[in-house]
Amino acid sequence: MASQPMPDLSPQVSDEVRKTTCYMCACRCGINVHMKAGKVAYIEGNRDHPVNKGVLCAKGSAGIMQHLSPARLRAPLKRVGPRGSGQFEEISWEEALQTATDWLAPLRATAPEKLAFFTGRDQSQSFTGWWAQAFGTPNWAAHGGFCSVNMAAAGIYTMGGAFWEFGQPDWDRTKLFLLFGVAEDHDSNPIKMGLGKLKARGARVIGVNPIRSGYNAVADDWVGITPGTDGLFILSLAHELLRAGKIDLGYLIRYTNAPYLVNAQDGPDKGLFLRGEDGKPLVRDRRTGQAVAWDSPEIAPDLANGVEIGGVTHLPVFRHLADRYLAPEYAPDAVAARCGIPAARIRAIAAEIARVAFEEEITINQPWTDFRGQKHDSMIGRPVAMHAMRGVSAHSNGFQTARALHMLQILIGSVETPGGFRFKPPYPKPPEAHPRPHAGHKPGQPLDGPHLGYPLGPEHLLIQDDNTPKRIDKAFSWEAPLSAHGLMHMVISNAHAGDPYPVDTLFLYMANMAWNSSMNTSAVMEMLTDQNPDGSYKIPRIIYSDAYSSEMVAFADLILPDTTYLERHDCISLLDRPICEAEALADSIRWPVVAPDRDVRPFQSVLLDLGARLGLPGMVREDGQPKFKDYADYITNHERRPGVGPLAGFRGEDGTGKGRGAPNPGQIEAYIQNGGFWLDHIPPEAQFFKPWNAAYQDWAVARGLYDSPQPYVFNLYVEPLRKFQLAAEGHGHRQPPDHLRERLIQTMNPLPIWYPTFTDAETDPAEYPLHALTQRPMAHYHSWGSQNAWLRQLHGHTPLYVSGDIWAQHGFSEGDWATLTSPHGRITLPVVRMDALNPQTVWTWNAIAKRRGAWALGEEAPEATRSSLLNHLIHELLPPKGDGLRWANSDPITGQAAWYDLRVRIEKAPAGQSVSYPAHPAQASPLPKAPRDLAHQVKG
């Protein structure tokens, strides 16, 4: 074989590796960026990073093509054509910033609420919220309201944390894993890594999803549930477990409010906890039969029997719970048809949960001490873990469904135990430890507190005396009392309607609200361009910041172009949306591994510049000069509380502070030297039982997560919900409007309930027999992937997937198109057969469809010609009820956008259909035409 060629087997891969944080989705993995001749040549996962431990998904590996995307904006832009046309001229940064200052300064001086500042997939919310608070507008939030606030709020109220950023399955120990709904891009790599671990040791995975794609394809058992019925299925599992007594009574007594006595006296206290004079909830001590404070030492709390006071019986929470879920309406046979799951299968899954939880118990020989001072020899776990995200969240019954899921985990005693679900610091954190929402605004003054928080009763709503919402999105009003993330999806609609009041300037960041991030997309585009009789726009001014030429760009008056994620500083902060692990505190940075080659600036630095020009408190020194040079300066030197800042690592003058410590001028450099992140392990005795573990509580105080130990019990029964019901029943000073009383009473139940989604309840199933959903492709993140030459070859159009029954019934054949019609609109797109579906469900990919002219794509790109958004079928309001009121298509408790409530009918499109509908006219692109062919290779 003398002639065998000898290729170079050891080529130099790069000149240098720069370690930073990915931003191709919300997962925030660590990446190694290989540089050649000062250019980005190759991206791979960082093996040392806590989130991804070296692996990287398709999006992350395609980051180089995002960084080189022809859709990158190049300079600040001023609109010169009509809104929506996309006609702009490039202007200087000085002109752009002066324009914004001239628009905003008068608002701040006279009516700061006239600025509505909403940010999208923002990973700097603690910063943008701080800026908005300093400006003084109550109208700020990020995208959580149209994403997964049901999950987050239900988790916080129930147990002080939810899934993903709040906690994770104990992947190394769990023996049974249940995954509910679509979750592909929320904890993207960690879920895949976790599934891989489960598969490697043969643990069982059960997927509950109407569609068997992605993770559900590898699930050992697939439950093709009917959309919107997850809550009913979960409560039926609870029914079975209760019926068999397969619940962890010791756990319920020690760590939950199951023993709390509930006041049964008709009147303003009915359904509230029976409390002692010191305000502590009372439980019945089995030894004495007396009602005593819940945390009294040496008591045996009862779960079965109550106490009688003044002829009124006060029963423990657990009795209410058992009575409710043991009712025949939750029996598998009663729910099977509605859920689309055979009763025997529900029973089998309940039995498997019980078997694994109680017969495969895990014991870790690690002593620990609880907050009552009781010492435990070991840590005993119930190795059943669960995860859910948008699939469960994005329904109008999503809050209560997420509550039901958490209740199920708690009943079997699996939360914060080995093999179960584990919180990630700074969670657990109960609702009481979070702030309340604020909307107190005055001309020229900062807001009276943080915008978002967790109301504990009607007294915390943000409403005027006449019940008018104080916020433009009506968050924390009677329409959405616990809207902890705001309602970004209602801002444009409400601002256009002047309901509850008009705004002057809409300021958006990284949120494609003129396209895939809004319901009712076509109408939203009309709202953004709608004019008064005098020719002025109904929404007078729109400022937008984005790195790319998205659909929203065309609708702004002023564009502040952002950098790509490889050209900027960022902090993935504990104050924000953390990336911690169940076993460690962690945060990370982005830093400019390359300098921008365009006239663009990182948005956060621009916001600081704007804040200084506006003289906002905290952003200017006493001499009026800017306090921070740029965002990196803010990351290093800003202190939220003394010694606690955006980054927890390398604090203090000597750089050894963990969590607490003075600002360290070398902090960012220390992060870079450490691979872009910081990690601090939780001591072994503090790893589990965190809400009740004295060692964890002390460690959390030392790290600045709390200022004092905050042990608490889980809320199977959420008393604040009952307070809203009481108001609706006529008790208390703050009274809801009459038209909302019945809904508040029905939905704000303090124990989890299931009710049909509003769309299911109000839509004629004969006319609209099918559910329509989107799934999120693992290789894309929202609208971002289509500008990426590599990723768009994986998912470049949106076929409508239908079951074989529907295929046959409508006589479809290969190459046909289908029209979907909802009560609100219609779309037409190519149709494809797929049998691994719930028979009542059709689906397509989320956010692949694009408007012609956007994202620097050719106008004949399949994203525009063979694709459509389900958004066109989904109204932000429910159909009119004839009462003249605007009823949001949202969860009634949190305001979460109910994307997945959609019902449709399907028809075969006429022969000859070759272009998707609707086909909006092209927007002009402010960018040069993209190159035709790529053969990209960086020469060293």
CB atoms within 10 A of CB 305: 13
Q: Closest Cα to residue 574, out of 679, 690, 712? A: 679
- 673, burial (CB in 10 Å: exposed 0-12, middle 13-18, buried 19+): exposed
Q: Which two tokens stand for residue 403?
A: 């509550």
Can you state the angle between helices 230-244 and 317-325, rounded to 10 degrees? Answer: 110
Could you check whether the bond before residue 418 is cis, i.e. omega within 30 degrees of 0?
no
Question: Is 625 or 813 the residue whose CB approaches other proteins more closely?
Answer: 813
Question: Is 98 or 305 the residue whose CB approaches other proteins more closely?
Answer: 305
Question: Is 356 or 543 the residue whose CB approaches other proteins more closely?
Answer: 356
CB atoms within 10 A of CB 526: 13
Q: Which residues contact 282 (CB under 8 A, 6 or more apart)?
A: 260, 261, 273, 274, 275, 276, 291, 292, 293, 294, 307
Smallest separation, CB 245 to other proteins (Å): 4
Question: Is 337 or 344 the residue whose CB approaches other proteins more closely?
Answer: 344
Could you check whether the bond before residue 709 is cis, i.e. omega within 30 degrees of 0?
no
Q: Closest Cα to residue 485, out of 592, 378, 382, 398? A: 398
3-state secondary structure 165-225: CCEEECCCCCCEEEEECCCCCCCHHHHHHHHHHHHHCCCEEEEECCECCCHHHHCCEEECC
Smallest separation, CB 680 to other proteins (Å): 25
Smallest separation, CB 129 to other proteins (Å): 32
Question: Is 20 or 52 the residue whose CB approaches other proteins more closely?
Answer: 52
Smallest separation, CB 44 to other proteins (Å): 7
Distances (CA, A) of 266 to 19, 263, 271, 524: 62, 9, 9, 47
Smallest separation, CB 832 to other proteins (Å): 11
Angle formed at CA 897 by CA 480 and CA 85, multiple of 5 degrees: 120
Residues 189 and 57: their CA atoms lie apart, in Å, by 7
Smallest separation, CB 420 to other proteins (Å): 19
Question: Is 243 or 905 the residue whose CB approaches other proteins more closely?
Answer: 243
Question: Is 697 or 925 the residue whose CB approaches other proteins more closely?
Answer: 925
Smallest separation, CB 616 to other proteins (Å): 40
Question: Is 12 or 536 the residue whose CB approaches other proteins more closely?
Answer: 12
Smallest separation, CB 829 to other proteins (Å): 17
Smallest separation, CB 904 to other proteins (Å): 23
Q: Closest Cα to residue 134, out of 536, 535, 453, 612? A: 612
Residues 150 and 747: their CA atoms lie apart, in Å, by 13
Smallest separation, CB 35 to other proteins (Å): 12
Residues 80 and 93: their CA atoms lie apart, in Å, by 17
Question: Is 80 or 935 the residue whose CB approaches other proteins more closely?
Answer: 935
Q: Which residues contact 567 (CB under 8 A, 6 or more apart)?
A: 67, 592, 593, 594, 595, 596, 600, 602
Angle formed at CA 834 by CA 830 and CA 838, multiple of 5 degrees: 115
Radius of gyration of the chain (CA): 27
Residues 350 and 880: their CA atoms lie apart, in Å, by 41
Question: Is 399 or 855 the residue whose CB approaches other proteins more closely?
Answer: 855
Which contiguous run of DSSP H or E holds residue 399? helix 398-411
Smallest separation, CB 791 to other proteins (Å): 7
Give the 3-state secondary structure of residue 679: strand
Question: Is 350 or 528 the residue whose CB approaches other proteins more closely?
Answer: 350
Could you check whether the bond before residue 426 is cis, i.e. omega within 30 degrees of 0?
yes
Question: Is 287 or 881 the residue whose CB approaches other proteins more closely?
Answer: 287
Smallest separation, CB 250 to other proteins (Å): 5
Question: Is 547 or 558 the residue whose CB approaches other proteins more closely?
Answer: 547
Smallest separation, CB 318 to other proteins (Å): 8
**In what side-by-side order are the strands of the sheet with 558-561?**
88-90, 77-79, 558-561, 541-546, 505-509, 115-119, 140-141
Mark 468-499 as b/e (b = at least 16 C-beta within 10 Å). Answer: ebbbbbbbbbbbbbbbbbbbbbbbbbbbbeee
Question: Is 241 or 362 the residue whose CB approaches other proteins more closely?
Answer: 241
Smallest separation, CB 67 to other proteins (Å): 12
Smallest separation, CB 240 to other proteins (Å): 5
Do strands 115-119 and 16-21 pair parallel, antiparallel, or not at all (unpaired)? unpaired
CB atoms within 10 A of CB 922: 15
Question: Is 219 or 462 the residue whose CB approaches other proteins more closely?
Answer: 219
Residue 107 CA to chain centroid, in angstroms? 31
Smallest separation, CB 422 to other proteins (Å): 20
Q: Which two tokens stand for residue 493?
A: 């609609």
Smallest separation, CB 268 to other proteins (Å): 27
Question: Is 36 or 741 the residue whose CB approaches other proteins more closely?
Answer: 36
Do strands 368-369 and 375-376 pair parallel, antiparallel, or not at all (unpaired)? antiparallel
Smallest separation, CB 22 to other proteins (Å): 12
Residues 556 and 544: their CA atoms lie apart, in Å, by 6
Question: Is 232 or 253 the residue whose CB approaches other proteins more closely?
Answer: 253
Q: Closest Cα to residue 68, out of 791, 865, 846? A: 791
Question: Is 187 or 876 the residue whose CB approaches other proteins more closely?
Answer: 187
Cβ atoms of residues 225 and 391 within 8 Å: no
Do strands 362-364 and 379-381 pair parallel, antiparallel, or not at all (unpaired)? antiparallel
Cβ atoms of residues 586 and 679 within 8 Å: yes
